Each structure stands twice: as structure tokens, then as C-alpha cells.
Amino acid sequence: NAGVTQTPKFRVLKTGQSMTLLCAQDMNHEYMYWYRQDPGMGLRLIHYSVGEGTTAKGEVPDGYNVSRLKKQNFLLGLESAAPSQTSVYFCASSYMWTGKAGELFFGEGSRLTVL
């Protein structure tokens, strides 16, 4: 059972380059999320999706775009990478919204370095 899979696991970019992080889940979850984790900052929500074809902004959306064309996939794009986007990115999914019985299932993270 793969759960939540993120690719790539590691990536080094130069300032101004673009890239896409792919998140795939095989649990038929409706909700998917992208978080970034920075030292001393905890996890901050970038964007999220409550179903196929939907996306919404989280706490720190600037500089990122997302798409949810298929229920099982949630893509995070950086159009023009900046050093401030150096971080570890986590994808997560859940059956239902996090408040009730639902819980977040996380991927292993993707470490992105922007030079």
C-alpha cells in the first residue's frame, strides 16, 4: 500500500527555473494539501484541494500554482523559483476535512534547494 507518494524526493534549482512536484495518493481521498516546512516555522499550508478540479489558497500561496486534474494527483508548480522557496515540501491527503474523524496522511517530503 503506497499511500501518499511524492516525486522527486530531492531537487536543486537555479533561481528563475521552473519545476513541478507531483503528489499521488492511492487511498481515494477527496482532500489533498501541500505544506512547506522550514526550520523553526512548523508546517505552513500552501494550497489545498477539496476535490478533483478544485484548488484553494492556503497560508503562503505566493509563488506557487497547483492543479488537481485527477482525484489521485495534486501537482505543485514553481514558475520562477526563488531562494526563499528553499524548503521541504509535504503533500498530504485525507478522507474528510481534518476536523472530524479525518486525519492527514503525509508523503515523505521533497527537499528543494534553490541556488
Partner 1 sequence: AQTVTQSQPEMSVQEAETVTLSCTYDTSESDYYLFWYKQPPSRQMILVIRQEAYKQQNATENRFSVNFQKAAKSFSLKISDSQLGDAAMYFCAYNSGGSNYKLTFGKGTLLTVNP
Q: Which of 48, 74, 75, 93 binds partner 1 (CB under 8 A)?
A: 48
Query: Nearest-CA neighbor of 21 among 99, 110, 87?
Result: 110
Indicate which single residue of 5, 20, 22, 44 sits in contact with partner 1 (rule: CB under 8 A): 44
Distance separating alpha carbons of residues 45 and 43, to the nearest angstrom = 7
| Between 58 and 77, CB nearer to partner 1 | 58
Options 22, 43, 60, 61; binder of partner 1; rule CB under 8 A: 43
Question: Quick one: how many helices (H) and strands (E) in the chain?
Answer: 0, 11
Q: Given the complex with partner 1, which of 69 and 101 has the nearer CB atom?
A: 101
